[in-house]
Structure 1
């Protein structure tokens, strides 16, 4: 585990919160001790930090398990120190990070982070640090969702929130897997974004009933699969035939938790499959598959990244507010200041 060595006197700039609440009221910017990597760990000098909806939700209401939380799980930078048991050759390596702040208080909204070496993944030379800060949650979520669908070549996939950070990657990966994609969006600009990623058609859920539009676009047959970001509303589409018999719905989130009614009879008589997963909690095999797959896609130049806005670290409150606003198309990135 990373430690803070008071003997070194080294400090870093960082952002944190010590209580839940609104971004502008609880997020602070200042100096903290620079971490020292423990056994099996690396320390990364961060260049970027990715801001995700889950980071915002944690700051708003997830109980703190420590005195303060340096937020964000995604980021990228260069390894500058290693702990015992880690090859010295890793120093100087460009890397991207996953699960930086998962079940730990020190995330990527800082100049440095120390974490287990497996969580610092070598970054292909053709991918910059801003794009790399989009990988840990958005791209990994998309990769696992497509993996859980199985063989989708020649099939039709409905992507809920096709212009979102995750949805943008889901569309690309589904198309690469040979599927046709219909995406739900909330504006003309978001429709254009989804189409540019490879969607064959879009549905503006604010302007037309999604179920009716899907049935019209599929000749009344429904889609073979759904990748879903909000199970609490998407489940309401199932009794309307949106998912054809023997189809699969993969869900990675919901705007409402607790008890959500499920149309069991419709699911049973259509032999439908429901799959759920939490990207923070992937098993080792799934994590390694996603890391390897994303690396190959980046090396081949086949993965397109969307940066919606960039903020300096000290403007972290504005970055969180931008994510909360939901109007940006693309990921929100913090640029970490140099020494």
Structure 2
């Protein structure tokens, strides 16, 4: 089979296309014929991190993807050969990512893909959608799961609504019944956030941003999905409701943040960090189930008309795909692996 591999960290030039033996699934594992591989920021960052040895002699990158179950290992009863699936965290603590014609992974990380959902959609889920799910389910008063009506009466602020996580957060929050306010950095991204379903879209930087949010949500926003907490912490505290939660998942804007202390504790603000790789199996399985339900309901479409432009690369051009994500490509970067 064809696979992208690297055996030392570095820039995208360390990636190479190679012929590899077809792997066999072990107990509790499945082999998936990959149709589309999705690229996330953590994929290039894991590859580029120097100063520490790789966890394996050779790594195939990319956590997310979609395809068809090709073989099942002993003990696998929930998936069958020929079943369409979307994949998450394929390369987490494992050498086999989705930038290959076939990948091996635990059966729990291959989720049935609704019959009317495209492989492009399936490969766009994983890290972005599951991170968004986590950000929306850590409020002290719940909900811990998402479904239609779960966020009825709540207001959600999505900071950076045109990114992959922000896009999924808008869609999931709308599906769950919330009123959604999104912030973006340009007129072009305003159109994307509106296409994703945001009820209100505001542009930054703006001296009137906090006032605009408070006008839309006089009692504050209950949930904030935050991509740049170093830049936005003070604003978040200003507009958040009592007992509100700030779910932050990235370090855009800096490695450290400060927030007004008195107003934070006066409002009982919860600062909730989010990282799928360490969040634990219970949260992962809950997110996978709820995201799959949203897909089945048609609530997570992708493409420019749905607010998430798609960029495609061939498997042999995986290095260029990684570079596109590193350079901040708008939307989702995907790799066509097979038909």
- Please, what TM-score do these two structures have when normalized by structure 2? 0.87
**Gap change, CA 1:327 and 1:114, over 3 Å in 2:** closer
How far residue 259 of structure 1 moved from its aligned partner, in angstroms, is 5.0
Unaligned runs of 5+ in 2: 144-150, 303-307
State the number of aligned residues. 323
Partner of 2:333: 332
How far residue 242 of structure 1 moved from its aligned partner, in angstroms, is 2.1
Task: Report if aligned partners of 2:86, 2:123 keep a CA contact under 8 Å in 1.
Answer: yes
Cα deviation, 1:83-134, whole Å, max 9, x if unaligned, reads 2223497111111111101112221100111111111111111111111011
What is the correspondence of 1:116-135 to structure 2 with a 5 Å cutoff? 116-135=106-125
Partner of 2:321: 319
1:33 to 18, 21, 32: 21
Task: Report if aligned partners of 1:307, 1:333 keep a CA contact under 8 Å in 2.
Answer: no
In 1, the alpha carbon distance for the partners of 2:22 and 2:192 equals: 40
1:224 aligns with 2:222: yes
What is the correspondence of 1:92-111 to structure 2 with a 5 Å cutoff? 92-111=82-101
1:114 to 96, 104, 129: 104
Task: Report if aligned partners of 1:130, 1:307 keep a CA contact under 8 Å in 2.
Answer: no
**Gap change, CA 1:139 and 1:238, over 3 Å in 2:** closer
How far residue 225 of structure 1 moved from its aligned partner, in angstroms, is 2.4
1:236 to 209, 234, 238: 234
Task: Report if aligned partners of 2:175, 2:299 keep a CA contact under 8 Å in 1.
Answer: no
In 2, the alpha carbon distance for the partners of 1:131 and 1:71 equals: 19
Partner of 1:171: 170
**Gap change, CA 1:217 and 1:298, over 3 Å in 2:** closer
Task: Report if aligned partners of 2:172, 2:294 keep a CA contact under 8 Å in 1.
Answer: no
Larger radius of gyration: 1
1:293 to 286, 290, 299: 290
Partner of 2:146: none
Which deviates more from structure 2 when the two are superposed, residues 102-111 or residues 300-309?
300-309
The Cα RMSD (Å) is 2.2
Partner of 1:8: none
- Please, what TM-score do these two structures have when normalized by structure 1? 0.87
In 1, the alpha carbon distance for the partners of 2:157 and 2:14 equals: 38
SS in 2 for 1:214: helix
